[in-house]
């Protein structure tokens, strides 16, 4: 069955998978979604490798890629860049199962999709016979940036520009980005928050004049953010893999539901779980965990999405987001795939900063449970998990573990639950060590990494060691209103 892709703001026009991946964002500003959701027999995948399951999932969505093309992309993506043979190990600690998605080159879950996206993109360009250089424009709240930079560095026919909030990422995250080597890599700090960066990138994508000027000079823009369907589909894989692996281990029985608790910012990670469920993976509740920026929690409680609130900088910066772009895909589905209804709600969000869905649309949210963890609850969870099991989790994982704990306590629901662990604790050593009661004031982040290694009995990841004394390659800073000009300057568009 051929799967094509349509925009959430115009259902009339469809494109192939490779066209959708290459475009990133639809011309009307909408996000691409598949015209149908294929089904999968998860039980038949029990015991298969991550790479094998990746192929079985992706071939169902990327139907215009040949078997050779797709298997080639997968082989290049999921190799020894990952420090765990399983790619996504499942770790039991303190009676909770953690899905570790941080064993890639940049020790965060974004590696799971951004390791393969460059290969999907360059393959798509060849298929579409596009000669222009692909310019990846990306906004990051910390993790996407480095993972995208690492994925695209020195990939022929591509260049990448990453924007990040100057004071909105951890020191390790920032050091990872500004030390990135590669002649085709560009990193720009903006004076603003992540939502400003994300909005700026979306406006650049919508700038027809700039796109035309870029095309004249041999460039075409694309995205590595989770708005790109080439990011979302590879994320579906690890939920299918998790269920198949638990089945093979005998932890669960075929057909038995499991819940997943996901630390959530831009909504892409948990939306991938939703698609895995729609494909036939027996997932129960999708527990959407927010930090103090609890715009998603409030939405699930009330049906009103309202970004008109204080933006709070927390110890889980990758979730410090007030505009969750991928939620648009769910809203479109809740509106029974009515693109006009969805487009109107997105217009309200842009112009008024909020929208409210109907009671009928709320019925589409029943798979989700919203929850949030305060800073204190996050720190308490890191300490509790360590005291119970000696296992150290990062702040984002702790948000999900805390919300999971709250949900089980409040409901008495003892369904087997997997907490999605999205980053290594070494990426947020200052916050983690503080949560564990250690002195952090005035202590260098890399000394804290050394202490965390001693404390936890784990080895410092290569991703941290290699930036310890790495030279800084990127120093550009701009106002949030000057992002377009910065892109023009970098590409020398005249």
Token pair recorded at residue 150: 């690492």
In sequence order, what DSSP letters do the residues of 274-286 get, joined into one string? HHHHHHT--EEEE
Beta bridge partners of 223: 137
Which among 226, 223, 14, 210 is positioned nearest to 121, based on CA atoms? 223
For 356, phi then psi, to 5°, come to -130, 130
H or E element that contains 261: strand 258-263
Structure tokens at 347: 């217009």
Residue 7 has phi, psi (to 5 degrees) of -85, 145
**In the block, residue with structure tokens 């772009």:** 325
The residue among 455, 452, 299 whose CA lies nearest residue 364 is 299
Residue matched to tokens 């996000």: 31
Residues taking part in catalysis: 110
**Residue among 97, 121, 133, 311 nearest 230 (CA):** 121
Beta bridge partners of 290: 372
Own/partner contacts of 71-77, CB < 8 Å, gap of 24 or more, are 72/119, 72/123, 73/116, 73/119, 73/120, 73/123, 74/116, 75/51, 76/116, 76/119, 77/115, 77/116, 77/119
- For 244, 319, 372, 419, 438, the CA distances from 262, given in Å and listed in that order, are 19, 11, 11, 6, 27
> Do you know the residue count of the chain?
494
């Amino acid at each position: 069955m051929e799967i094509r892709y349509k925009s959430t703001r115009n259902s009339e026009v469809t494109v192939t998978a490779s066209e959708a991946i290459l475009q990133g964002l639809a011309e009307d500003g909408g996000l691409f979604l598949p015209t149908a959701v294929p089904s999968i027999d998860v039980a038949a995948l029990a015991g298969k490798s991550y790479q094998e399951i990746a192929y079985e999932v992706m071939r169902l969505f990327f139907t215009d890629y040949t078997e050779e093309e797709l298997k080639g992309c997968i082989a290049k993506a999921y190799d020894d860049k990952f420090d765990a043979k399983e790619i996504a190990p499942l770790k039991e600690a303190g009676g909770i199962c953690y899905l570790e998605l941080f064993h890639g080159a940049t020790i965060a879950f974004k590696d799971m999709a951004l390791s393969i996206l460059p290969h999907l993109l360059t393959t798509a360009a060849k298929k579409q016979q596009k000669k222009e250089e692909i310019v990846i424009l990306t906004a990051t709240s910390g993790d996407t940036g480095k993972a995208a930079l690492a994925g695209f560095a020195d990939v022929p026919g591509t260049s990448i520009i990453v924007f990040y909030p100057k004071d909105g990422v951890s020191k390790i995250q920032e050091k990872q980005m500004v030390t990135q080597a590669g002649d085709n890599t560009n990193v720009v700090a903006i004076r603003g928050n992540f939502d400003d960066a994300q909005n700026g990138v979306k406006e650049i994508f919508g700038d027809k004049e700039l796109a035309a000027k870029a095309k004249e000079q041999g460039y075409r823009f694309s995205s590595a953010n989770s708005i790109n369907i080439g990011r979302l589909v590879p994320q579906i894989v690890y939920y299918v893999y998790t269920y198949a692996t638990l089945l093979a281990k005998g932890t669960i029985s075929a057909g038995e539901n499991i819940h997943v608790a996901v630390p959530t910012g831009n909504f892409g990670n948990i939306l991938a779980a939703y698609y895995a469920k729609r494909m036939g993976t027996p997932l129960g509740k999708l527990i959407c965990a927010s930090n103090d920026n609890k715009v998603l929690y409030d939405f699930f409680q009330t049906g009103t999405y309202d970004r008109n609130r204080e933006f709070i900088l927390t110890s889980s910066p990758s979730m410090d987001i007030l505009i969750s772009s991928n939620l648009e895909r769910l809203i479109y589905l809740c509106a029974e795939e009515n693109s006009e209804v969805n487009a109107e709600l997105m217009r309200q969000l842009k112009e008024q900063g909020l929208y409210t869905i109907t009671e009928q649309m709320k019925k589409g949210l029943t798979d989700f449970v919203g929850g949030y963890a305060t800073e204190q609850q996050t720190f308490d969870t890191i300490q509790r998990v360590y005291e119970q099991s000696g296992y150290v989790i990062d702040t984002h994982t702790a948000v999900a573990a805390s919300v999971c704990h709250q949900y089980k306590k409040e409901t008495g629901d003892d369904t087997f639950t997997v907490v999605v662990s999205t980053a290594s604790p070494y990426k947020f050593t200052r916050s983690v060590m503080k949560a564990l009661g250690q002195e952090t004031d005035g202590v260098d982040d890399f000394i804290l990494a050394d202490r965390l290694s001693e404390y936890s009995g784990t080895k410092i990841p290569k991703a941290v060691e290699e930036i310890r004394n790495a030279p800084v390659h990127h120093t550009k800073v701009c106002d949030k209103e000057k992002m377009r000009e910065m892109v023009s300057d970098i590409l020398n568009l005249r």
